Amino acid sequence: MEFLPAGCRARNPCVIAVIFVATSLLPLVCAADNDGQENPEYLAIKQRLARGWNTWNTRSVLSHTLLPEGFGLNLAFKQVRWIDEPYLREALFGRDTDDAHIRPGPHTLDGSYTRLDIQWQQLWARVESAHAGDDLVILVTPVTAQTLPVKMVVESAIYWNRPGSLAKVSDNQLRMTLPTRTVDVYATASHQEDFYVETQTPYLVLTLEQPVGLSTGRPRTVDQIRELIEDAREAVEQTAATHGDLAEAYIAVEAGIAWNLIYEPRFDRVVSTVGRLWNDEYGGYCLFGWDNFFLAYMASLFSRDLAYANILEHLRGATDEGFIPNDDRGNGSKSFDRSQPPVGAIMVREVYKKYPERWLLEATFDDLLAWNRWWMKRRLNGGLLSYGSHEAENPFLEPATQTKRTARYESGMDDSPMYEGVPFNKVKNTLELQDVGLASLVIADSLALVEMAEVLGREGKAAELRERAATLSRNLEQLWDEETGLYLNRRTDTGQLSHRLSPTLFYPLLAGVPDAERAQRMVADHLLNPEEFWGDWVVPSIARNDSAFEHQRYWKGAVWPPLNFLTYLSLRQAWFREEASELASRSLALFVTEWQRQGYVSENYSAITGTGDDQRLSSDRFHSWGALLGIMAFVEAGEMPAPEEPLVDDADEVESR
């Protein structure tokens, strides 16, 4: 991100101007490696998404930006004190260094309404925004009186090196002048001169002794802004109410995605991310291997455009080897040595069911097939599959590659007790563990691709994928342990089966591997067993009777949304409808309770207390995939396609409607 250089203070103290010259309004865009990003339908989607006011700037949830121009209004706060004056210029949910507690509230995907509550120093205020046609209005309402005054600094900005000029034109007005238009911003209070704020662009300083409003386009009073805010809030509630008992969940799931929806200038795109803290740490943005396919699926509840964009932009990050990397970072680096669990084709299939347009399959099939083949080429271990990390291009000198640690990263379950004591084989480039979950996901991935290939008329590819699924299914039968009643991971260095039990051992149900008798044992004896996985807060990432469970830290027993979701899909695929419904219900309760209590959409939750801020956890407080705990209820309600139902040709689907 780049701000304009500071301008000089003019003779008239009410006028400050900053001028920037550029050759084009458009950002520098790297050429896409994938034809999907150049698809005319997708280019139209990109243009529709990257427009209007929203919290596009990943650096702060207190920043509102207008696209495509890149004009930003950043809200900062300054605490007046007798000796020092703390300054909060940017804020993110859960960032400890901010010394600020921010409670997220509703946020529509299009930015038509947002709300958050902030406590910092003596400030306790509610910040709301809404659209008024093409205009933006913001209302900041103090909740409590302040002994010492708090100032709100309205900082103007032009992000991402866009052309234009900024000016303070009066005591309550900022202006952005663009090559094509002018945008004015008006405050309901007058500027209080302060020459020592931490900004280098034109700004307004407003004292927060009473509600203060901002509006673009034309001046508005606090009451007029409040009315627009209330209308927008009512619209959110009315839309949510159409979902009946799921109204609160609908608001929470949308907020979980929308607060982490950003504009990413390197590729001129709007894209969902798991969390702004991760974006900040990873050079501007980070797309994760399995996370972002889940985000595309969840976005489909609200928006066909965003769901499609998330899929195509994630596939853009595929490596030259053809796999989706563990992470794809804003500084241009990515995980060249490892991938993450293959859920891409499974999620693309579900999005296509909801929005059946053949071009989506045509734009994604080859990339997804390349990833599917990659697993067989790089991670085959004795007829089955193991997670790994291999020697590969490493231009950014990542210190840990081709190691046990990075192999565990590929699993997505970094410190799972399943991998404790398991050696890493540098010749095979894999862990010495045939992984039930991985084999099952590759089978399910292959079968999803079979359905896509059939819609596209690619029978040769469909035959290849059927054979792959059949071969892995036959080999997976070797891991069935009759005494336990589960498919168990097997050590390839000792030949022994591992009895560290994780929800990934239910994934053979998703792959359609076990017969009815075995499936019944898996569910009844293990998933529904309160000594292992069942209970008030489900599903723990390691069995409750495992020695690691009490730790609850990270993958040592905490409830992780993707494990619940994949277990839910597994139950649906195996026609355990009542059990799937109960899992969805308990997951929803976990999700909504924490949303109502703290406004959190957590990375993981305690399987002991059901909270996302249990001190034993290591959990991002606002992590988009937390909304997976809520999305299952919408499948149960019929608002998302039934995952066990097959694909149909888009033309047939349209005709049937």
pLDDT bin (cut points 50, 70, 90) of residue 469 is very high
Q: Please state whether the peptide bond connecting residue 539 to the residue before it is cis, i.e. omega within 30 degrees of 0.
A: yes
Closest alpha carbon to 347 in 199, 510, 539: 510
Collapsed DSSP state (helix, strand, coil) of residue 223: helix
Q: Is residue 422 within 8 Å of 486, Cβ to Cβ?
A: no
Task: Tell me the DSSP string of 229-250.
Answer: HHHHHHHHHHHHHTTGGGHHHH
Closest alpha carbon to 489 in 504, 472, 474: 504
pLDDT at residue 654 in the model: 43
Residue located via tokens 């034309």 = 218
Give the residue extent of every domain in the chain. 16-241, 341-656
Tell me which of 38 and 407 has the higher pLDDT: 407
Beta partners for residue 270, in sequence order:
263
pLDDT at residue 652 in the model: 54
| Mean pLDDT on 65-70 | 96
Q: How far apart are CA 59 and CA 360, in angstroms?
A: 31
Comparing 22-31, 171-180, 204-213, 329-338, the range with the smallest average pLDDT is: 22-31
Whether the per-residue pLDDT at 28 is higher than 60: the answer is no
pLDDT at residue 649 in the model: 78
> What is the overall mean pLDDT for the chain?
93
Task: Tell me the DSSP string of 446-487.
Answer: HHHHHHHHHHHT-HHHHHHHHHHHHHHHHHHGGGEETTTTEE
The percentage of residues in the chain with a pLDDT greater than 90, rounded to a whole number, is: 90
HSE-up (13 A, CA, CB side) for residue 521 = 13
Q: Is residue 66 within 8 Å of 56, Cβ to Cβ?
A: no
Cβ-Cβ contacts under 8 Å for 405 (sequence gap 6 or more): none
pLDDT tens column, 386-426: 999 999 988 999 999 999 999 999 999 999 999 999 999 99
Q: What is the dihedral sign for C-alpha 487, 492, 494, 499?
A: negative
Burial degree of 195 (CB within 10 A; 0-12, 13-18, 19+): exposed
Beta partners for residue 182, in sequence order:
177
341-656 maps to which CATH number?
Answer: 1.50.10.10
| Mean pLDDT on 507-513 | 98
pLDDT bin (cut points 50, 70, 90) of residue 169 is very high
Whether the per-residue pLDDT at 33 is higher than 50: the answer is no
Residue located via tokens 């308990």 = 586
pLDDT tens column, 563-592: 999 999 999 999 999 999 999 999 999 999
pLDDT at residue 62 in the model: 98
What is the H or E stretch that residue 60 is in? none
**CB-CB neighbours of 96 under 10 Å:** 7
Residue located via tokens 């900005």 = 157
pLDDT tens column, 276-325: 999 999 999 999 999 999 999 999 999 999 999 999 999 999 999 999 99
Whether the per-residue pLDDT at 333 is higher than 60: the answer is yes
Whether the per-residue pLDDT at 32 is higher than 80: the answer is no
pLDDT at residue 20 in the model: 32
pLDDT bin (cut points 50, 70, 90) of residue 96 is confident
16-241 maps to which CATH number?
Answer: 2.70.98
pLDDT tens column, 596-633: 999 999 999 999 999 999 999 999 999 999 999 999 99
Q: What is the dihedral sign for C-alpha 299, 305, 306, 308?
A: positive
The percentage of residues in the chain with a pLDDT greater than 70, rounded to a whole number, is: 94
Beta partners for residue 481, in sequence order:
486
